[in-house]
Amino acid sequence: MIIRVPSEAPRYVPTEERFVLRYTMANDPVRMTSRELDALREMIKSGNEKRFYDWTKWQIERDYVMRCDRHECQQCKRRGRYRRATIVHHIKHLKDRPDLALCMYDPDTGERQLESVCKICHEENHPEWQRPIQNNPRFTTEERWD
Ligand SMILES: [Zn+2]
Ligand SMILES: [Zn+2]
């Protein structure tokens, strides 16, 4: 039996497939199935997107990004200083681009999508999470709010 191997990649691939293919090429340790993406979209719709941070796949991806960045805050690094990173941040926010939730790089631009940051830089990235009242512990940003 002869298995035909196409000499070049098909020109047209459905978006979801293309995402999976490019994703695999980016060497991320895990990838999201379309079923999981649907579940994540539902969670966002109902305001429960923080449950995503409990997913094992997220924890694997998070650890991978941290290791790649050697636990160094990438935003501080760009400003020429060192701080230890404690959070992996979604540059395109999870709510806006759930399809990139487990992508270290945005497959369309090749730019970083997940990066390790310190708590201080992370709070600058999320002004929407600023505490309405200073020193109110109820509104302290949790580490897992990536
Ligand atoms: Zn920082
Ligand atoms: Zn973030």
Successive 10-residue mean pLDDT values, the chain, 146 residues? 51 50 64 96 96 96 93 96 97 96 89 95 85 51 52
pLDDT score, position 16: 55
Q: Is 115 helix (H, G, I), strand (E, B) or coil?
A: strand
pLDDT score, position 128: 74
**Is there a domain that residue 44 lies in?**
yes
In tens, the pLDDT along 8-41 reads 444 444 555 555 545 444 578 898 999 999 999 9
Q: Which residue has the tokens 């691939």?
A: 13
**Is there a domain that residue 142 lies in?**
no
Ligand at shortest distance from the CA of 52? 2
Distances (CA, A) of 56 to 48, 63, 137: 17, 11, 28
Ligand at shortest distance from the CA of 143? 2
Q: How far is the CA of 15 from the centre of ligand 2 (A)?
A: 25
**Is there a domain that residue 28 lies in?**
no
Determine the Cα–Cα distance for residues 84 and 6; give it in Å rounded to an integer. Answer: 47
Q: How far is the CA of 136 from the centre of ligand 1 (A)?
A: 23
pLDDT score, position 9: 45
Q: How far is the CA of 54 from the centre of ligand 1 (A)?
A: 24
Number of domains in the chain: 1
Q: How far is the CA of 73 from the centre of ligand 1 (A)?
A: 5
**Is there a domain that residue 80 lies in?**
yes
Q: How far is the CA of 122 from the centre of ligand 2 (A)?
A: 6
Q: Model pTM?
A: 0.71
**Is there a domain that residue 16 lies in?**
no
Determine the Cα–Cα distance for residues 140 and 77; give it in Å rounded to an integer. Answer: 25
**Is there a domain that residue 90 lies in?**
yes
